[in-house]
Amino acid sequence: MKRLALCAAVALCVALPARAADPVGPANKRWKQADACIADANKQVPDHNAAALRKRDQLTNDCMIAHKLQPLTKVAPADDTPPAPAAPPSN
């Protein structure tokens, strides 16, 4: 019985420092927070026009900066983007 308790104590002591030094934990927290920022922005601005996309980008980036995360790149098109070229006529 003492051996079993000793083995369990040694296994616990070995496993705890390895778990505490796990680099995946903080990364998962950052990803979850980034997902929460995006979900909140999507709830606040559900439309899919250019103005709504710009507003959603701004809300997402504000949330990311508030949580000390890297802001995302812009998704919304700029106002000065030229229109897409027309498709050539088919013969």
Helix axes 24-44, 50-66, angle to 10 degrees: 140
**pTM of the predicted model as reported, rounded to 2 decimal places:** 0.59
Q: How far apart are CA 51 and CA 31, in angstroms?
A: 26
CA angle 41, 45, 48 (to 5 degrees): 115
Q: By the 8 A CB rule, do 55 and 49 touch?
A: no
- Terminal Cα distance for the chain, rounded: 88
pLDDT in tens, 13-51: 665 555 556 677 888 999 999 999 999 999 999 998 989
Give the helix, strand, coil percentages of the chain, each rounded to 5. Answer: 65, 0, 35
